[in-house]
Chains A and B, each alone.
Chain A
Protein backbone atom coordinates (compact mmCIF):
# COMPACT_ATOMS: atom_id res chain seq x y z
CA UNK A 1 0.00 0.00 0.00
CA UNK A 2 2.74 2.47 0.83
CA UNK A 3 4.32 0.32 -1.86
CA UNK A 4 1.24 -0.08 -4.03
CA UNK A 5 2.61 -1.41 -7.27
CA UNK A 6 5.90 -3.16 -6.88
CA UNK A 7 7.34 -4.64 -10.03
CA UNK A 8 9.15 -7.89 -9.26
CA UNK A 9 10.81 -7.96 -12.67
CA UNK A 10 9.58 -11.49 -13.32
CA UNK A 11 7.13 -12.45 -16.02
CA UNK A 12 5.67 -15.37 -14.08
CA UNK A 13 6.28 -17.15 -10.83
CA UNK A 14 8.98 -19.73 -11.33
CA UNK A 15 8.26 -23.25 -10.25
CA UNK A 16 10.79 -25.48 -8.56
CA UNK A 17 11.86 -27.25 -11.75
CA UNK A 18 12.95 -23.97 -13.31
CA UNK A 19 15.08 -22.86 -10.37
CA UNK A 20 18.81 -23.20 -10.04
CA UNK A 21 20.13 -25.07 -7.04
CA UNK A 22 20.92 -21.79 -5.26
CA UNK A 23 17.44 -20.48 -5.92
CA UNK A 24 15.89 -23.66 -4.63
CA UNK A 25 17.93 -23.54 -1.44
CA UNK A 26 16.90 -19.91 -1.03
CA UNK A 27 13.22 -20.71 -1.50
CA UNK A 28 13.51 -23.62 0.96
CA UNK A 29 14.84 -21.31 3.63
CA UNK A 30 12.04 -18.85 3.03
CA UNK A 31 9.49 -21.66 3.19
CA UNK A 32 11.04 -22.67 6.52
CA UNK A 33 10.65 -19.06 7.77
CA UNK A 34 14.39 -18.44 8.11
CA UNK A 35 15.05 -14.71 7.73
CA UNK A 36 17.20 -13.50 4.86
CA UNK A 37 20.00 -11.20 6.02
CA UNK A 38 21.89 -8.68 3.86
CA UNK A 39 25.05 -10.83 3.62
CA UNK A 40 23.12 -13.92 2.47
CA UNK A 41 22.92 -14.93 -1.15
CA UNK A 42 19.64 -13.88 -2.74
CA UNK A 43 18.24 -13.91 -6.26
CA UNK A 44 18.76 -10.63 -8.10
CA UNK A 45 15.05 -10.23 -8.66
CA UNK A 46 14.41 -10.62 -4.93
CA UNK A 47 16.98 -7.94 -4.16
CA UNK A 48 15.67 -5.57 -6.80
CA UNK A 49 12.07 -6.07 -5.76
CA UNK A 50 12.86 -5.42 -2.13
CA UNK A 51 14.87 -2.32 -2.94
CA UNK A 52 11.92 -1.03 -4.91
CA UNK A 53 9.39 -1.93 -2.23
CA UNK A 54 11.33 -0.57 0.74
CA UNK A 55 12.24 2.51 -1.21
CA UNK A 56 8.63 3.23 -2.14
CA UNK A 57 7.74 2.78 1.49
CA UNK A 58 10.51 5.13 2.66
CA UNK A 59 9.58 7.81 0.14
CA UNK A 60 5.96 7.53 1.23
CA UNK A 61 6.94 8.28 4.81
CA UNK A 62 8.90 11.34 3.73
CA UNK A 63 6.41 12.75 1.24
CA UNK A 64 3.71 11.90 3.77
CA UNK A 65 5.22 14.45 6.14
CA UNK A 66 4.03 17.24 3.82
CA UNK A 67 0.22 16.99 3.88
CA UNK A 68 0.24 16.73 7.67
CA UNK A 69 3.05 19.22 8.14
CA UNK A 70 0.71 21.60 6.32
CA UNK A 71 -1.36 21.89 9.54
CA UNK A 72 1.34 22.16 12.20
CA UNK A 73 1.30 25.94 12.15
CA UNK A 74 -2.51 26.04 12.33
CA UNK A 75 -3.27 23.28 14.84
CA UNK A 76 -6.14 24.59 16.99
CA UNK A 77 -4.67 23.78 20.42
CA UNK A 78 -1.16 23.57 21.81
CA UNK A 79 -1.69 19.95 22.82
CA UNK A 80 -2.72 19.03 19.27
CA UNK A 81 0.16 21.03 17.84
CA UNK A 82 2.67 19.14 19.96
CA UNK A 83 1.13 15.77 19.08
CA UNK A 84 1.11 16.58 15.39
CA UNK A 85 4.72 17.77 15.38
CA UNK A 86 5.76 14.58 17.14
CA UNK A 87 3.77 12.51 14.69
CA UNK A 88 5.27 14.09 11.60
CA UNK A 89 8.67 13.70 13.19
CA UNK A 90 7.96 9.99 13.73
CA UNK A 91 7.20 9.66 10.01
CA UNK A 92 10.61 11.15 9.27
CA UNK A 93 12.09 8.54 11.60
CA UNK A 94 10.25 5.79 9.73
CA UNK A 95 11.71 7.08 6.49
CA UNK A 96 15.14 6.96 8.07
CA UNK A 97 14.88 3.33 9.28
CA UNK A 98 13.53 2.28 5.91
CA UNK A 99 16.29 4.01 3.95
CA UNK A 100 18.76 2.24 6.23
CA UNK A 101 17.05 -1.11 5.59
CA UNK A 102 17.23 -0.50 1.83
CA UNK A 103 20.88 0.53 2.09
CA UNK A 104 21.74 -2.92 3.44
CA UNK A 105 20.80 -4.17 -0.04
CA UNK A 106 23.48 -2.07 -1.66
CA UNK A 107 21.76 1.14 -2.73
CA UNK A 108 22.63 4.54 -1.27
CA UNK A 109 20.12 6.94 0.20
CA UNK A 110 21.26 9.67 -2.17
CA UNK A 111 20.59 7.40 -5.14
CA UNK A 112 17.13 6.59 -3.82
CA UNK A 113 16.32 10.25 -3.27
CA UNK A 114 17.56 11.05 -6.77
CA UNK A 115 15.24 8.37 -8.16
CA UNK A 116 12.30 9.85 -6.29
CA UNK A 117 13.05 13.33 -7.57
CA UNK A 118 13.47 12.06 -11.11
CA UNK A 119 10.03 10.42 -10.88
CA UNK A 120 11.53 6.96 -11.34
CA UNK A 121 10.22 5.62 -8.06
CA UNK A 122 6.74 6.21 -6.72
CA UNK A 123 5.33 6.87 -3.30
CA UNK A 124 1.85 6.12 -2.06
CA UNK A 125 -0.96 7.74 -4.04
CA UNK A 126 -2.64 8.88 -0.82
CA UNK A 127 -0.18 11.71 -0.22
CA UNK A 128 -1.20 13.40 -3.44
CA UNK A 129 -4.48 14.51 -1.91
CA UNK A 130 -4.76 17.90 -0.22
CA UNK A 131 -5.32 18.50 3.50
CA UNK A 132 -8.02 21.16 3.45
CA UNK A 133 -9.22 21.40 7.04
CA UNK A 134 -8.10 20.41 10.52
CA UNK A 135 -10.41 17.39 10.28
CA UNK A 136 -8.13 16.03 7.55
CA UNK A 137 -5.45 15.58 10.18
CA UNK A 138 -7.78 13.43 12.26
CA UNK A 139 -8.90 11.50 9.21
CA UNK A 140 -5.36 10.81 8.02
CA UNK A 141 -4.38 9.45 11.42
CA UNK A 142 -7.49 7.33 11.60
CA UNK A 143 -7.65 6.04 8.02
CA UNK A 144 -4.19 6.41 6.51
CA UNK A 145 -2.21 5.30 9.53
CA UNK A 146 -4.92 2.68 10.07
CA UNK A 147 -4.38 1.34 6.55
CA UNK A 148 -0.61 1.51 7.07
CA UNK A 149 -0.86 -0.69 10.14
CA UNK A 150 -3.10 -3.14 8.33
CA UNK A 151 -0.44 -3.53 5.69
CA UNK A 152 2.61 -3.42 7.91
CA UNK A 153 1.66 -5.84 10.68
CA UNK A 154 2.06 -8.79 8.29
CA UNK A 155 5.32 -7.26 7.03
CA UNK A 156 6.76 -7.67 10.53
CA UNK A 157 6.97 -11.35 9.50
CA UNK A 158 8.41 -10.73 6.03
CA UNK A 159 11.39 -12.76 4.89
CA UNK A 160 13.97 -9.95 4.79
CA UNK A 161 15.34 -9.42 8.31
CA UNK A 162 16.13 -5.67 8.25
CA UNK A 163 12.73 -4.85 6.72
CA UNK A 164 10.86 -7.05 9.19
CA UNK A 165 12.67 -5.47 12.13
CA UNK A 166 12.07 -1.92 10.84
CA UNK A 167 8.38 -2.77 10.53
CA UNK A 168 8.13 -3.93 14.14
CA UNK A 169 9.43 -0.57 15.31
CA UNK A 170 7.30 1.38 12.88
CA UNK A 171 4.07 -0.47 13.70
CA UNK A 172 4.20 0.50 17.35
CA UNK A 173 4.30 4.17 16.42
CA UNK A 174 1.69 3.86 13.69
CA UNK A 175 -0.82 2.52 16.17
CA UNK A 176 -0.21 5.58 18.36
CA UNK A 177 -0.84 7.75 15.33
CA UNK A 178 -4.03 5.94 14.55
CA UNK A 179 -5.38 6.40 18.06
CA UNK A 180 -4.44 10.07 18.06
CA UNK A 181 -6.19 10.55 14.72
CA UNK A 182 -9.31 8.85 15.97
CA UNK A 183 -9.19 10.98 19.09
CA UNK A 184 -9.22 14.13 16.92
CA UNK A 185 -12.27 12.74 15.11
CA UNK A 186 -14.01 11.98 18.41
CA UNK A 187 -13.46 15.53 19.61
CA UNK A 188 -14.85 16.91 16.34
CA UNK A 189 -17.84 14.60 16.32
CA UNK A 190 -18.72 15.48 19.90
CA UNK A 191 -18.10 19.16 19.22
CA UNK A 192 -20.08 21.93 17.53
CA UNK A 193 -22.27 21.27 14.46
CA UNK A 194 -19.59 22.96 12.34
CA UNK A 195 -16.94 20.61 13.67
CA UNK A 196 -19.10 17.61 12.89
CA UNK A 197 -19.65 18.84 9.33
CA UNK A 198 -15.90 19.27 9.00
CA UNK A 199 -15.35 15.67 10.13
CA UNK A 200 -17.91 14.28 7.67
CA UNK A 201 -16.47 16.31 4.83
CA UNK A 202 -12.99 14.97 5.54
CA UNK A 203 -14.23 11.37 5.62
CA UNK A 204 -16.05 11.96 2.32
CA UNK A 205 -12.82 13.07 0.68
CA UNK A 206 -10.43 10.52 2.21
CA UNK A 207 -12.48 7.32 2.20
CA UNK A 208 -11.95 6.21 -1.38
CA UNK A 209 -8.31 7.30 -1.63
CA UNK A 210 -7.69 5.29 1.56
CA UNK A 211 -9.13 2.15 -0.05
CA UNK A 212 -6.86 2.75 -3.03
CA UNK A 213 -3.85 2.60 -0.73
CA UNK A 214 -3.96 -1.18 -0.85
CA UNK A 215 -3.25 -1.14 -4.56
CA UNK A 216 -5.03 -2.64 -7.57
CA UNK A 217 -7.26 -5.71 -7.29
CA UNK A 218 -5.56 -9.08 -7.03
CA UNK A 219 -6.83 -10.51 -10.29
CA UNK A 220 -3.95 -11.56 -12.54
CA UNK A 221 -1.19 -9.86 -10.59
CA UNK A 222 1.91 -11.89 -11.30
CA UNK A 223 4.01 -9.54 -9.19
CA UNK A 224 1.93 -10.15 -6.09
CA UNK A 225 2.18 -13.90 -6.57
CA UNK A 226 5.96 -13.79 -6.79
CA UNK A 227 6.18 -11.47 -3.80
CA UNK A 228 3.94 -13.81 -1.82
CA UNK A 229 6.22 -16.70 -2.68
CA UNK A 230 9.18 -14.71 -1.39
CA UNK A 231 7.21 -13.67 1.70
CA UNK A 232 7.71 -10.01 1.12
CA UNK A 233 3.99 -9.61 0.65
CA UNK A 234 2.05 -11.81 2.99
CA UNK A 235 -1.54 -10.89 2.30
CA UNK A 236 -3.14 -9.86 -0.97
CA UNK A 237 -4.33 -6.35 -1.77
CA UNK A 238 -7.97 -7.37 -1.70
CA UNK A 239 -7.66 -9.27 1.56
CA UNK A 240 -6.04 -6.29 3.25
CA UNK A 241 -8.62 -3.90 1.82
CA UNK A 242 -11.46 -6.08 3.09
CA UNK A 243 -9.92 -6.22 6.56
CA UNK A 244 -9.58 -2.47 6.54
CA UNK A 245 -13.21 -1.91 5.57
CA UNK A 246 -14.40 -4.42 8.17
CA UNK A 247 -12.39 -2.71 10.87
CA UNK A 248 -13.19 0.86 9.91
CA UNK A 249 -16.92 0.87 9.26
CA UNK A 250 -17.87 0.22 12.91
CA UNK A 251 -15.45 2.99 13.92
CA UNK A 252 -17.26 5.40 11.59
CA UNK A 253 -20.59 4.26 13.05
CA UNK A 254 -19.31 4.97 16.54
CA UNK A 255 -18.36 8.48 15.46
CA UNK A 256 -21.80 8.95 13.93
CA UNK A 257 -20.27 9.53 10.49
CA UNK A 258 -21.52 8.09 7.24
CA UNK A 259 -19.10 6.24 4.99
CA UNK A 260 -19.62 7.72 1.50
CA UNK A 261 -20.57 4.46 -0.21
CA UNK A 262 -24.22 3.66 -0.96
CA UNK A 263 -23.39 0.05 -1.64
CA UNK A 264 -21.77 -0.51 1.71
CA UNK A 265 -23.66 -3.26 3.55
CA UNK A 266 -22.93 -6.06 5.96
CA UNK A 267 -23.04 -9.46 4.30
CA UNK A 268 -24.04 -12.07 6.84
CA UNK A 269 -23.25 -14.72 4.26
CA UNK A 270 -19.63 -13.62 3.73
CA UNK A 271 -19.12 -12.33 7.24
CA UNK A 272 -17.71 -9.13 5.72
CA UNK A 273 -18.88 -5.77 4.51
CA UNK A 274 -19.68 -5.54 0.83
CA UNK A 275 -18.58 -2.27 -0.66
CA UNK A 276 -18.80 -0.31 -3.90
CA UNK A 277 -16.53 -0.10 -6.88
CA UNK A 278 -13.28 1.83 -6.54
CA UNK A 279 -12.54 4.35 -9.26
CA UNK A 280 -9.42 2.69 -10.64
CA UNK A 281 -9.06 5.27 -13.35
CA UNK A 282 -8.56 7.94 -10.70
CA UNK A 283 -6.04 5.68 -8.97
CA UNK A 284 -3.98 5.17 -12.10
CA UNK A 285 -4.09 8.88 -12.93
CA UNK A 286 -2.84 9.77 -9.45
CA UNK A 287 -0.06 7.19 -9.73
CA UNK A 288 0.88 8.62 -13.13
CA UNK A 289 1.29 12.07 -11.61
CA UNK A 290 -2.09 13.63 -12.22
CA UNK A 291 -3.41 13.73 -8.67
CA UNK A 292 -4.39 17.04 -7.09
CA UNK A 293 -1.04 17.54 -5.35
CA UNK A 294 1.55 15.42 -7.17
CA UNK A 295 3.34 18.44 -8.58
CA UNK A 296 3.40 20.41 -5.34
CA UNK A 297 4.61 17.45 -3.33
CA UNK A 298 7.53 16.81 -5.67
CA UNK A 299 8.34 20.50 -5.99
CA UNK A 300 8.43 20.85 -2.22
CA UNK A 301 10.72 17.83 -1.79
CA UNK A 302 13.03 18.90 -4.60
CA UNK A 303 13.17 22.47 -3.32
CA UNK A 304 14.01 21.29 0.21
CA UNK A 305 16.76 19.10 -1.20
CA UNK A 306 18.20 21.79 -3.46
CA UNK A 307 17.92 24.54 -0.85
CA UNK A 308 19.72 22.26 1.58
CA UNK A 309 22.61 21.46 -0.78
CA UNK A 310 24.85 24.30 0.45
CA UNK A 311 24.19 23.27 4.06
CA UNK A 312 25.17 19.67 3.41
CA UNK A 313 28.24 20.81 1.46
CA UNK A 314 29.26 23.11 4.31
CA UNK A 315 28.94 20.32 6.85
CA UNK A 316 31.11 18.12 4.68
CA UNK A 317 33.68 20.85 4.09
CA UNK A 318 33.84 21.56 7.81
CA UNK A 319 34.28 17.89 8.66
CA UNK A 320 37.16 17.70 6.20
CA UNK A 321 38.86 20.78 7.59
CA UNK A 322 38.42 19.43 11.06
CA UNK A 323 39.91 16.06 10.16
CA UNK A 324 42.84 17.72 8.38
CA UNK A 325 43.58 19.83 11.47
CA UNK A 326 43.50 16.75 13.68
CA UNK A 327 45.88 14.93 11.35
CA UNK A 328 48.22 17.89 11.48
CA UNK A 329 48.10 18.02 15.26
CA UNK A 330 48.82 14.29 15.52
Chain B
Protein backbone atom coordinates (compact mmCIF):
# COMPACT_ATOMS: atom_id res chain seq x y z
CA UNK B 1 0.00 0.00 0.00
CA UNK B 2 1.32 3.48 -0.85
CA UNK B 3 0.48 4.58 2.65
CA UNK B 4 2.86 2.11 4.30
CA UNK B 5 5.87 4.42 4.68
CA UNK B 6 3.58 6.99 6.27
CA UNK B 7 1.99 4.41 8.51
CA UNK B 8 5.46 3.23 9.49
CA UNK B 9 6.38 6.77 10.44
CA UNK B 10 3.21 7.18 12.47
CA UNK B 11 3.71 3.94 14.38
CA UNK B 12 7.29 4.98 15.11
CA UNK B 13 5.94 8.14 16.73
CA UNK B 14 3.96 5.96 19.11
CA UNK B 15 6.86 3.56 19.68
CA UNK B 16 9.49 6.19 20.32
CA UNK B 17 7.44 7.98 22.95
CA UNK B 18 7.45 4.75 24.92
CA UNK B 19 11.10 3.85 24.38
CA UNK B 20 12.43 7.34 25.08
CA UNK B 21 10.33 8.01 28.18
CA UNK B 22 11.16 4.54 29.55
CA UNK B 23 14.83 5.33 29.05
CA UNK B 24 14.40 8.52 31.09
CA UNK B 25 12.55 6.68 33.86
CA UNK B 26 15.28 4.03 33.85
CA UNK B 27 17.71 6.76 34.94
CA UNK B 28 15.78 7.07 38.21
CA UNK B 29 16.09 3.43 39.25
CA UNK B 30 17.71 3.14 42.67
CA UNK B 31 17.58 6.90 43.25
CA UNK B 32 13.91 7.65 43.89
CA UNK B 33 12.74 9.77 46.84
CA UNK B 34 11.34 6.69 48.61
CA UNK B 35 11.63 2.97 48.03
CA UNK B 36 7.94 2.64 47.13
CA UNK B 37 8.31 5.44 44.58
CA UNK B 38 11.35 3.84 43.08
CA UNK B 39 9.39 0.65 42.55
CA UNK B 40 6.29 2.38 41.20
CA UNK B 41 8.21 4.61 38.81
CA UNK B 42 10.07 1.59 37.47
CA UNK B 43 6.71 -0.06 36.88
CA UNK B 44 5.63 2.82 34.70
CA UNK B 45 8.93 2.67 32.85
CA UNK B 46 8.51 -1.04 32.26
CA UNK B 47 4.99 -0.54 30.92
CA UNK B 48 6.15 2.16 28.53
CA UNK B 49 9.05 0.06 27.35
CA UNK B 50 6.70 -2.87 26.78
CA UNK B 51 4.34 -0.65 24.81
CA UNK B 52 7.24 0.75 22.80
CA UNK B 53 8.26 -2.79 21.91
CA UNK B 54 4.73 -3.69 20.78
CA UNK B 55 4.66 -0.66 18.49
CA UNK B 56 8.14 -1.44 17.19
CA UNK B 57 7.09 -5.00 16.37
CA UNK B 58 4.21 -3.62 14.34
CA UNK B 59 6.48 -1.03 12.72
CA UNK B 60 8.68 -3.86 11.52
CA UNK B 61 5.74 -5.66 9.93
CA UNK B 62 4.76 -2.50 8.11
CA UNK B 63 8.29 -1.81 6.93
CA UNK B 64 8.63 -5.40 5.76
CA UNK B 65 5.80 -4.81 3.29
CA UNK B 66 7.80 -2.29 1.29
CA UNK B 67 11.39 -2.89 2.45
CA UNK B 68 11.64 -6.54 3.49
CA UNK B 69 12.53 -7.95 5.91
CA UNK B 70 12.04 -4.76 7.91
CA UNK B 71 14.16 -3.74 10.87
CA UNK B 72 13.70 -5.52 14.19
CA UNK B 73 13.11 -3.73 17.48
CA UNK B 74 16.78 -3.57 18.38
CA UNK B 75 17.86 -2.26 14.99
CA UNK B 76 15.20 0.41 15.32
CA UNK B 77 16.04 1.32 18.90
CA UNK B 78 19.82 1.12 18.78
CA UNK B 79 20.84 1.82 15.21
CA UNK B 80 18.77 4.85 14.30
CA UNK B 81 20.32 8.30 14.77
CA UNK B 82 18.53 11.07 16.59
CA UNK B 83 17.07 12.55 13.43
CA UNK B 84 15.25 9.28 12.75
CA UNK B 85 13.56 9.25 16.13
CA UNK B 86 9.93 10.38 16.08
CA UNK B 87 9.11 10.94 19.76
CA UNK B 88 7.63 14.11 21.19
CA UNK B 89 10.07 16.71 22.49
CA UNK B 90 8.33 16.53 25.86
CA UNK B 91 9.37 12.95 26.66
CA UNK B 92 13.07 13.49 25.93
CA UNK B 93 13.37 16.36 28.42
CA UNK B 94 15.79 15.58 31.26
CA UNK B 95 14.52 14.18 34.55
CA UNK B 96 15.43 17.23 36.63
CA UNK B 97 13.90 17.12 40.10
CA UNK B 98 11.05 14.84 41.08
CA UNK B 99 8.68 17.71 40.29
CA UNK B 100 10.09 18.00 36.77
CA UNK B 101 9.76 14.26 36.27
CA UNK B 102 6.21 14.17 37.58
CA UNK B 103 5.11 17.23 35.60
CA UNK B 104 6.49 15.71 32.41
CA UNK B 105 4.77 12.46 33.25
CA UNK B 106 1.39 13.98 34.00
CA UNK B 107 1.29 16.22 30.93
CA UNK B 108 2.21 13.23 28.78
CA UNK B 109 0.09 10.57 30.54
CA UNK B 110 -3.07 12.62 30.29
CA UNK B 111 -2.57 13.06 26.54
CA UNK B 112 -1.40 9.47 26.10
CA UNK B 113 -4.55 8.10 27.72
CA UNK B 114 -6.78 10.16 25.44
CA UNK B 115 -4.75 9.31 22.36
CA UNK B 116 -4.88 5.58 23.07
CA UNK B 117 -8.59 5.86 23.73
CA UNK B 118 -9.04 7.30 20.26
CA UNK B 119 -6.67 4.77 18.68
CA UNK B 120 -8.58 1.89 20.21
CA UNK B 121 -11.21 2.71 17.58
CA UNK B 122 -8.71 2.71 14.69
CA UNK B 123 -9.65 0.94 11.49
CA UNK B 124 -6.21 -0.63 11.61
CA UNK B 125 -6.83 -3.68 13.80
CA UNK B 126 -3.27 -3.97 15.01
CA UNK B 127 -3.24 -0.35 16.13
CA UNK B 128 -6.60 -0.75 17.82
CA UNK B 129 -5.47 -3.88 19.70
CA UNK B 130 -2.18 -2.42 20.93
CA UNK B 131 -3.89 0.82 21.94
CA UNK B 132 -6.54 -1.03 23.90
CA UNK B 133 -3.94 -3.05 25.77
CA UNK B 134 -1.69 -0.05 26.46
CA UNK B 135 -4.64 2.10 27.48
CA UNK B 136 -5.34 -0.13 30.48
CA UNK B 137 -1.82 0.45 31.77
CA UNK B 138 -1.83 4.15 31.05
CA UNK B 139 -5.02 4.67 33.05
CA UNK B 140 -2.99 3.73 36.10
CA UNK B 141 -0.07 5.94 35.01
CA UNK B 142 -2.21 9.04 34.82
CA UNK B 143 -3.84 8.31 38.14
CA UNK B 144 -0.44 8.19 39.70
CA UNK B 145 1.08 11.22 38.01
CA UNK B 146 -2.05 13.31 38.61
CA UNK B 147 -1.89 12.29 42.25
CA UNK B 148 1.73 13.43 42.53
CA UNK B 149 0.95 16.66 40.73
CA UNK B 150 -1.65 17.34 43.41
CA UNK B 151 0.50 16.23 46.31
CA UNK B 152 3.46 18.34 45.25
CA UNK B 153 1.35 21.28 44.08
CA UNK B 154 -0.68 21.34 47.27
CA UNK B 155 2.08 20.13 49.59
CA UNK B 156 4.63 22.49 51.10
CA UNK B 157 5.56 25.95 49.90
CA UNK B 158 8.76 24.54 48.43
CA UNK B 159 7.07 21.68 46.62
CA UNK B 160 4.42 24.02 45.27
CA UNK B 161 7.04 26.33 43.82
CA UNK B 162 8.97 23.44 42.30
CA UNK B 163 5.86 21.96 40.73
CA UNK B 164 4.71 25.29 39.33
CA UNK B 165 8.19 25.97 37.90
CA UNK B 166 8.24 22.52 36.35
CA UNK B 167 4.84 22.94 34.71
CA UNK B 168 5.76 26.41 33.47
CA UNK B 169 9.02 25.18 31.97
CA UNK B 170 7.51 22.17 30.22
CA UNK B 171 4.39 23.89 28.95
CA UNK B 172 5.96 24.98 25.66
CA UNK B 173 6.41 21.32 24.73
CA UNK B 174 2.73 20.47 25.10
CA UNK B 175 1.55 22.07 21.86
CA UNK B 176 3.32 19.47 19.76
CA UNK B 177 1.02 16.76 21.11
CA UNK B 178 -1.92 18.31 19.26
CA UNK B 179 -0.18 19.39 16.06
CA UNK B 180 -1.32 17.38 13.05
CA UNK B 181 1.07 17.30 10.11
CA UNK B 182 0.55 15.97 6.58
CA UNK B 183 1.45 12.41 7.56
CA UNK B 184 -1.14 12.32 10.30
CA UNK B 185 -3.76 14.15 8.29
CA UNK B 186 -3.86 11.46 5.62
CA UNK B 187 -4.04 8.67 8.18
CA UNK B 188 -6.74 10.46 10.15
CA UNK B 189 -8.80 10.75 6.98
CA UNK B 190 -8.37 7.02 6.43
CA UNK B 191 -9.63 6.32 9.96
CA UNK B 192 -6.27 4.85 10.99
CA UNK B 193 -4.67 7.57 13.11
CA UNK B 194 -6.22 9.57 15.94
CA UNK B 195 -7.02 13.21 15.29
CA UNK B 196 -4.70 14.71 17.87
CA UNK B 197 -6.12 18.20 17.40
CA UNK B 198 -9.47 17.02 18.68
CA UNK B 199 -7.85 15.93 21.96
CA UNK B 200 -6.71 19.41 22.88
CA UNK B 201 -9.96 20.63 24.46
CA UNK B 202 -10.59 17.55 26.60
CA UNK B 203 -6.91 17.41 27.59
CA UNK B 204 -6.98 21.04 28.71
CA UNK B 205 -10.06 20.48 30.85
CA UNK B 206 -8.57 17.38 32.48
CA UNK B 207 -5.27 19.14 33.15
CA UNK B 208 -7.06 22.24 34.46
CA UNK B 209 -9.08 20.14 36.91
CA UNK B 210 -5.94 18.54 38.33
CA UNK B 211 -4.09 21.87 38.45
CA UNK B 212 -7.04 23.36 40.28
CA UNK B 213 -6.87 20.72 42.98
CA UNK B 214 -3.09 21.11 43.02
CA UNK B 215 -3.43 24.90 43.46
CA UNK B 216 -1.27 25.33 40.36
CA UNK B 217 -1.78 28.15 37.90
CA UNK B 218 -2.44 27.16 34.31
CA UNK B 219 0.46 28.53 32.23
CA UNK B 220 -0.39 30.89 29.39
CA UNK B 221 -0.26 29.45 25.89
CA UNK B 222 2.77 31.08 24.36
CA UNK B 223 4.92 29.82 21.54
CA UNK B 224 4.89 26.05 21.34
CA UNK B 225 8.09 24.18 20.41
CA UNK B 226 7.83 21.81 17.51
CA UNK B 227 4.18 22.49 16.85
CA UNK B 228 4.60 23.87 13.36
CA UNK B 229 5.81 20.74 11.64
CA UNK B 230 9.43 21.00 12.76
CA UNK B 231 9.51 19.06 16.00
CA UNK B 232 10.21 15.64 17.45
CA UNK B 233 7.61 13.96 15.28
CA UNK B 234 9.54 15.14 12.23
CA UNK B 235 12.92 14.19 13.73
CA UNK B 236 14.01 17.67 14.80
CA UNK B 237 14.82 17.26 18.48
CA UNK B 238 16.23 19.15 21.42
CA UNK B 239 19.92 18.73 22.27
CA UNK B 240 18.99 16.29 25.01
CA UNK B 241 18.08 13.40 22.74
CA UNK B 242 21.55 12.98 21.27
CA UNK B 243 23.13 12.55 24.69
CA UNK B 244 20.46 10.11 25.72
CA UNK B 245 20.98 8.01 22.61
CA UNK B 246 24.77 8.12 22.95
CA UNK B 247 24.36 6.37 26.28
CA UNK B 248 21.54 4.08 25.25
CA UNK B 249 23.18 2.87 22.04
CA UNK B 250 26.85 2.66 23.05
CA UNK B 251 27.09 -1.08 23.74
CA UNK B 252 24.89 -2.18 20.88
CA UNK B 253 26.81 0.00 18.40
CA UNK B 254 30.24 -1.00 19.70
CA UNK B 255 29.59 -4.59 18.68
CA UNK B 256 28.03 -4.54 15.21
CA UNK B 257 26.06 -7.68 14.48
CA UNK B 258 26.50 -9.14 17.96
CA UNK B 259 23.60 -10.89 19.68
CA UNK B 260 22.94 -10.34 23.34
Contacts and interface: CB of A to CB of B under 8 A. Distances in A.
Nearest to B29: A69
Interface in B19-63: 19, 22-23, 26-27, 29-39, 42-43, 45-46, 49-50, 52-53, 56
**What's the interface size class on B, roughly?**
35 or more
A92 B151 contact: no
B52 A74 contact: no
A308 B181 CA distance: 40
A53 B250 CA distance: 40
Most A-side CB within 10 Å, residue of B26, B32, B255, B259: B26
Nearest to A300: B31
A131 to B, nearest CB: 12
Given A77-B74, A310-B162, A85 B151 contact: no
B32 A78 contact: no
A310 B52 contact: no
Contacts of A134: 251, 260
A192 B4 CA distance: 36
Contacts of A74: 247-248, 250-251
A62 B29 CA distance: 11
A271 interface: no
Contacts of B258: 76, 191-192, 194-195
Contact of B252 (A73, A77, A96): A77
A300 B30 contact: yes
A93 to B, nearest CB: 6
Nearest to B39: A92
A230 to B, nearest CB: 28
A171 to B, nearest CB: 19
Nearest to A303: B31
Most A-side CB within 10 Å, residue of B26, B30, B73: B30
A272 interface: no
Contacts of B77: 78
B98 interface: yes
Contacts, number: 145
Nearest to A66: B30
Contacts of A77: 74, 78, 252, 260
Contact of A76 (B38, B50, B255): B255
A88 B29 contact: yes
Given A92-B35, A195-B255, A310-B156, A78 B52 contact: yes
A313 B33 CA distance: 10
B1 interface: no
Contact of B251 (A66, A75, A95, A315): A75
B247 A73 contact: yes
B151 A95 contact: no
A308 B32 contact: yes
A81 B26 contact: yes
A304 B250 CA distance: 26
A308 B39 contact: no
Most A-side CB within 10 Å, residue of B29, B34, B39, B250: B29
A69 B49 contact: no
A312 B162 CA distance: 14
A101 to B, nearest CB: 14
A157 to B, nearest CB: 27
A192 B258 CA distance: 6
Contact of B152 (A93, A194, A311): A311
Interface string B241-259: 0000001101110010111
Nearest to A194: B255
B156 A96 contact: no
Given A72-B29, A85-B42, A62 B152 contact: no
Nearest to B151: A318
B26 A312 contact: no
A92 B83 CA distance: 36
A313 B156 CA distance: 7
B53 A78 contact: yes
B150 interface: yes
B39 to A, nearest CB: 5
10 contacts: A69-B30, A80-B260, A81-B22, A85-B29, A92-B30, A92-B35, A99-B35, A188-B260, A304-B32, A315-B151
Would you list the 5 A-B pairs with minimal beta carbon distance, nearest first? A308-B33, A314-B155, A314-B159, A311-B33, A65-B30
